[in-house]
Amino acid sequence: MKTLRVELGDRGYPIFIGQGLMGQAELVKSYVKGRQVLIVTNTVVAPLYLSACEAAFAEFDVKSVILPDGEVYKTLETLNLIFDELIGQRFDRSCTLIALGGGVTGDMTGFAAACFQRGVKFIQMPTTLLSQVDSSVGGKTGVNHPLGKNMIGAFHQPECVVIDTETLNTLEDRQLSAGLAEVIKYGLIQDIEFFEWLEKNIERLMNRDPEALSYAIERSCQDKAEIVAKDEKEAGLRALFNLGHTFGHAIESGMGYGNWLHGEGVSAGTMQAMYLSKLLGHLSEGDVTRVQSLFERVNLPVKPPTVAEMNNQAFLDLMAGDKKVQAGTIRLVLLKSIGQAYVTGDYPGHFLEKTLTEWR
């Protein structure tokens, strides 16, 4: 087992990464504060892992709530199912919530923990690649609104993150690819060495080679933990993690939540950011092709949808609702070079229009 740490003073916490960690009571019991434990999971993950997870918390008063599956259910309405259970079963403020599942479950459970009785503890047990490399670390929690992705939420750090890499064995190929979009993101924003490693090892990851997957998860979590420690609430640096996300979130919500997976939106959105970075003179044609080829080797989309609902104006309207917008300016994460990202609102508006028109 490998242990990393998110250094956030008294809110700091460990990330445990290894095979078969799910059922290990010794690993988690010191992170449970009171007696009451609520495992939050969904209809797909429960039959696979709920009993192993319950076993790890068997010495506590453990209950579970099983939510409907999918991004379309990442809503305030579904969140209420967690509160119904907590309030109905008389959980008190010393309770601990366990997020067992992918990023949707993790974001919702974390948000429920941030809100219930003004804040209780929670543990992340991510079971998708995307949640293991990204969403379970850093304390961003929340739900979608019909008008914008992740628009309602809170920063709330977990007590620990338990990444059982064996859970990836049951993940669908399309979901594995979606997770790889966020892995590639770390290489692009600040880690050229990792990007080059990915170029050499991407087929091993696609074939679920356990050693390669563990390495990619560790390196991604390390990269994420370092930036979160410097900028927990996204005053600046942390916004780099949003490479491709302003375009990608527009695709996700514009196409209807769940039709394009988050990682698929990030992949196409990152390529739009690459194209704009090229228009600005930062990247060469060769750089753009190099990044495109890596996404293509993972079977990820590299162009946004061409449907009428996603015309330039619709894209711009959706992007104008992004959380990085300041004083009406759409701020974007762009690249100076592969491995060096920056955030800016200072680009000619017609370059954005040209990107939306030409990178299709």
- Answer for which of 74, 140, 249, 331 binds ligand GLY (CB under 6 A) is 140
CA nearest neighbour of 335 among 189, 127, 159:
189
The yes-or-no answer on residue 118 being catalytic is yes
For residue 53, count CB atoms less than 10 angstroms from its CB and return exposed for 0-12, middle for 13-18, buried for 19 or more: buried
Distance CA 139, CA 156 (A): 5
The yes-or-no answer on residue 242 being catalytic is yes
Tokens 């799910």 belong to which residue?
A: 22
Chosen from ligand GLY, ligand NAD, none, partner binding at 156 (C-beta under 5 to 8 Å by type): none
Distance CA 94, CA 50 (A): 22
Distance CA 23, CA 146 (A): 37
Closest distance to ligand GLY from the beta carbon of 158 (Å): 13
Residue 109 binds ligand NAD, judged by CB under 6 A: no
Q: Pick the catalytic residue: 262, 264, 278, 331? A: 262
Choose the stretch contacting ligand NAD; rule: CB under 6 A; options: 22-30, 88-96, 97-105, 297-305. 97-105
Nearer to ligand NAD, 69 or 85 (CB): 69
Residue 331 binds ligand GLY, judged by CB under 6 A: no
Residue 134 binds ligand GLY, judged by CB under 6 A: yes
Chosen from ligand GLY, ligand NAD, none, partner binding at 238 (C-beta under 5 to 8 Å by type): ligand GLY
- Answer for which of 195, 241, 275, 315 binds ligand GLY (CB under 6 A) is 241
The yes-or-no answer on residue 234 being catalytic is yes
For residue 8, count CB atoms less than 10 angstroms from its CB and return exposed for 0-12, middle for 13-18, buried for 19 or more: middle
Near ligand NAD in 156-195, by CB under 6 A: 167, 170-171, 175, 178
Four-point Cα dihedral 75, 78, 83, 89, nearest 10? -170
Strands of the chain (E only): list them: 2-6, 13-18, 36-42, 61-67, 96-101, 121-126, 140-145, 148-155, 161-164, 332-337, 340-344
The yes-or-no answer on residue 2 being catalytic is no
Residues 6+ apart with CB under 8 A from 354: 279
Tokens 């992007």 belong to which residue?
A: 319
- Answer for which of 22, 54, 96, 103 binds ligand NAD (CB under 6 A) is 103
Q: What are phi and psi of 159, to 5 degrees?
A: -80, -35
Residue 262 binds ligand NAD, judged by CB under 6 A: yes
Residue 195 binds ligand GLY, judged by CB under 6 A: no
For residue 198, count CB atoms less than 10 angstroms from its CB and return exposed for 0-12, middle for 13-18, buried for 19 or more: buried
Q: Pick the catalytic residue: 121, 224, 278, 331? A: 224
Residue 223 binds ligand NAD, judged by CB under 6 A: no
CB-CB contact of 57 with 203 (8 Å): no
Active site residues: 118, 140, 182, 224, 234, 238, 242, 245, 249, 262
Residues forming the site for ligand NAD (CB under 6 A): 42, 44-45, 48, 69-71, 74, 101-105, 107, 127-128, 130-131, 134-135, 138, 140, 150, 167, 170-171, 175, 178, 262
Residues that bind ligand GLY (CB under 6 A): 134, 138, 140, 238, 241
